Amino acid sequence: MKILVTVKRVTDYERKVKIAPDGKSLLTDGMSFVANPFDEIAVEEALRLNKAHGGEVVVVSVGPKDSTQEIRKALAMGAHRGILVTAETVDSDVYARALQQLVEKEQPELVIMGKQNTDDDANQEGQLLAGYLNWPQATFASKEAGLDSADEKAQKPGLVVDNGQLTVVREADGGLEHLSVDLPAIVTTDLRLNQPRFASLPGIMKAKKKKVEEFSLGDLGVDPAPKLTYVAYSEPKERQAGQIVENIDALVDRLRNEAKVI
Amino acid sequence: MSNILVVAEHNDGTLAKATLTCVSFAQEAAKRTGGVVHGLVTGSGTSAVAEELAKYVSVVHHADAPAFEHSLAETKAQAITIGADAAQASVVAMAATAHGKDTLPRAAALNGAGMASDIIGFAADSGLQFLRPIQAGNIIAACEIATERKYVSTRPTDFEAAEELQSPGTVQALTVNVPSPKTRFVQFAKVASNRPQLTEATTVVSGGRGLKDAKGFPELIEPLADKLSAAIGASRAVVDSGWVPNDMQVGQTGKVVAPNLYIAVGISGAIQHVAGMKGSKTIVAINKDPEAPIFQVADYGLVEDLFKAIPELTSKL
Ligand SMILES: Cc1cc2nc3c(=O)[nH]c(=O)nc-3n(C[C@H](O)[C@H](O)[C@H](O)COP(=O)(O)OP(=O)(O)OC[C@H]3O[C@@H](n4cnc5c(N)ncnc54)[C@H](O)[C@@H]3O)c2cc1C
Ligand SMILES: Nc1ncnc2c1ncn2[C@@H]1O[C@H](COP(=O)(O)O)[C@@H](O)[C@H]1O
């Protein structure tokens, strides 16, 4: 089975990004970057499916040239080859149309993506791509058992592929929804799908020799005009730290008589 | 084309409260475009939901057919684009619940329209620039959608639920012929609970890894939540461990809540957790580590061992 997985280069979620003085852009110089954590889960799932069903795992990213680093990380985890589409934008729609072209070129049976990127939390890429391709989608893929389960330790995939069909357990409001979709399909990963592996040293060495193709939006015939643009950035109103109370009696008193919330 | 279409969500025959918060966004948007608010209900046997929504919007487009029995993104997205045409909508909006997040972007793509997710308001007093939190809520971005029809999902905690109109709107049948879908609903494993819903509760008690193991929830958090008629939330750490169901996770990648009172018990206050609860009116943190970042956002902090503090708090309420 050929699987395409997407990896987006995002700012390190442990660090705060600053706003430029004119409020029109973000200052990312000197920031460290990582692969979007949801995408590591996507790569892990693709590798588990690959172990079970064979085939190929192709990692794709759309973004700045440096995204090659995140592609290489996925190759070090075990993916087979990479594709980078160079683009300077923040618009999900441009990304989705670029991915659509790659999917049409590569003809995978399954595309696994993260549910959201931690830079802007758009949570729409997989759904957009599914819409453009008119493929079925199963977003927020999860597992029935917790990540501590024996199955997880046995590294079994959470996605079940059988006979051209994919069964997915998805995180919905109020419970877990079980869906079955025809392949080809788009899946987006939630946090509980798996525990991503670390790249091994031999993995990192091998990754250096793996092929990463590069295209521009123009090569793929993708219109670079964004549909969504960010025009200004500002800081949210921050909460002030309040008071430390000395004991439960004081806490109950404040909640009752000062905040009046109980 | 200046109307606003609100796509409804309903569960077990009841209109979701989140949809009403989206209606109040739509009312403000309609003022700006000079249009009126329409609604879209899809489902099977959902006349009561359509009637209910008509109390809040001028026209309800009602696509009622067996094909819509389960809210599958694949079929519902098609209904949305047809509803958007019928409503002559310049803005199509849906609450950013799990269901809204799943469905709306797909419809935007079918429509070739631009979409902004999880918006929390307008950037200016007029026009259609929207605000949305990015970077785990550390930055608010003002955004613009270039296409004539704009898709937005709205964050339920940032809009009040709409009030009923003086006279209800009309309900119109909407015919949507969907080809047989490539998605099949298998089952829904519902989390049984007789507590208020996490996103709608006025009080939320959340537990974190400080509870040590899964027993912490039934033994400590539940009795306290019972006393306060509160919903129960959790940090990612405990959800990942399987102590509580996924849908209890509060945070950047879980649910966003804004109750009157939020009590964080044994939660360190990682930025990803705080992103989901910092809109709460009053925040209480109970943690034995005085350096825990949660105290930076708490109105009232108590530095104490939770195994001592929680039973005492529960008994004194
Ligand atoms: C991509 C991504 C997305 C994420 N999304 C979310 C999200 O949506 N929501 C979320 O919550 N997290 C999220 N996280 C995880 C987040 O970064 C933290 O790891 C998580 O919130 C920590 O959970 P915790 O506070 O329960 O555990 P810990 O950080 O381990 O904190 C436990 C706290 O309990 C206190 N404690 C221990 N024992 C006691 C005791 N006896 N009495 C009192 N206090 C005690 C400790 O002092 C400590 O402060 C995300 C992370 C990533 C990378
Ligand atoms: N530029 C990109 N390149 C590759 N994958 C992306 C890109 N943007 C988004 N994605 C994928 O889409 C998922 C959801 O992202 P988003 O909808 O932007 O929050 C991410 O986890 C990625 O897997």
User: Cα separation of B252 and A176, whole Å?
Assistant: 19
What mean pLDDT do residues B62-66 have? 97
Task: Select from A129, A72, A132, A102 the least CA-distant residue to A217.
Answer: A102
Domain contains A222: yes
pLDDT tens digits, one per residue of B240-287: 999 999 999 999 999 999 999 999 999 999 999 999 999 999 999 999
Q: CA neighbours within 13 Å on the CB side: how many for A209?
A: 4
What mean pLDDT do residues A131-141 have? 98
Query: Residue B132 to residues A254, B21, B117: CA-CA distances in angstroms?
Result: 33, 16, 7
H or E segment and range at residue A3: strand A2-6
Q: Which of B211, B212, B213, B236 to mutate to test the pocket of ligand 1 (most atoms within 8 A of CB)?
A: B236
What mean pLDDT do residues B164-178 have? 96
Q: What is the pLDDT of residue A194?
A: 96
Q: Whose CA is nearest to atom 1 of ligand 1?
A: A37
Q: What is the pLDDT of residue B1?
A: 85
Tell me the ligand closest to A115's alpha carbon. Answer: 2
SS3 state at A113: strand
Whether the per-residue pLDDT at A13 is higher than 90: the answer is no
Q: Based on the structure, what is the number of domains in chain A? A: 1
Cβ-nearest to B298 among A122, A123, A241: A241
H or E segment and range at residue A98: helix A92-106
What mean pLDDT do residues A95-119 have? 98
Domain contains A246: no
Torsion, Cα A42 B237 A127 A93, to 10 degrees, reads -90
In CATH, what number is assigned to the domain containing residue A144?
Answer: 3.40.50.620
Closest approach of A260 to chain B, Cα-based (Å): 9
Task: Select from B271, B270, B202 the least CA-distant residue to B231.
Answer: B202
Q: What is the pLDDT of residue B98?
A: 97
Domain contains A7: yes
Domain contains A259: no
Q: Which residue has the higher pLDDT, A13 or A122?
A: A122
Domain contains A128: yes
Domain contains A192: yes
What does R_g of chain A's alpha carbons equal in angstroms? 21
pLDDT tens digits, one per residue of A85-100: 999 988 999 999 999 9
What mean pLDDT do residues A232-253 have? 95
Q: What is the pLDDT of residue B30?
A: 98
Whether the per-residue pLDDT at A49 is higher than 90: the answer is yes
User: Given the structure tokens 């964004």, which residue do they identify?
Assistant: A226
Print the SS3 string covering A231-244. Answer: EEEECCCCCCCCEE
**Lowest pLDDT segment from A145-149, B112-116, B199-203:** A145-149
Q: What residues make up the domain containing A175?
A: 2-231
Domain contains A67: yes
Whether the per-residue pLDDT at B236 is higher than 90: the answer is yes
Q: What is the pLDDT of residue B286?
A: 98
The predicted complex's ipTM stands at 0.97
Residue B182 structure tokens: 């490539």
Average pLDDT, chain B: 97
Q: What is the pLDDT of residue A134?
A: 98
pLDDT band at B9 (very low <50, low <70, confident <90, very high): very high
Q: What is the pLDDT of residue A90?
A: 85
Domain contains A163: yes
Whether the per-residue pLDDT at A144 is higher than 90: the answer is no
Judge contact between A94 and A226, C-beta under 8 A. yes
User: Cα separation of B45 and B95, whole Å?
Assistant: 22
Judge contact between A39 and A113, C-beta under 8 A. yes
H or E segment and range at residue B264: strand B261-265
Q: What is the pLDDT of residue B280?
A: 97
Whether the per-residue pLDDT at A190 is higher than 90: the answer is yes
Q: What is the pLDDT of residue A149?
A: 86
Q: What is the pLDDT of residue B203?
A: 98
Whether the per-residue pLDDT at A148 is higher than 90: the answer is no
User: Cα separation of B147 and A222, whole Å?
Assistant: 17
Residues near ligand 2 (Cβ within 6 A): A 6-8, 36, 38-39, 42, 61-63, 92, 95, 113-114, 116-117, 121-126
Q: What is the pLDDT of residue A153?
A: 84
Show the beta-strand stretches assigned E in B50-163: 59-64, 89-95, 114-119, 121-122, 130-134, 139-145, 150-154
Instruction: Return the amino acid letter for B43.
Output: G
The answer to whether the CB atoms of A261 and B239 lie below 8 A apart is: no
Burial B272-303 (b: 16+ CB within 10 A, else e): bbbbbbbbbebbbbbbeeeebbbbbbbbbbbb
Whether the per-residue pLDDT at B147 is higher than 90: the answer is yes
What is the share, in percent, of chain B residues with pLDDT greater than 90?
A: 97
Judge contact between B80 and B178, C-beta under 8 A. no
The pTM of this model reads 0.97
Q: What is the pLDDT of residue B263?
A: 98
User: Cα separation of B205 and B265, whole Å?
Assistant: 7
Q: Whose CA is nearest to atom 6 of ligand 2?
A: A8
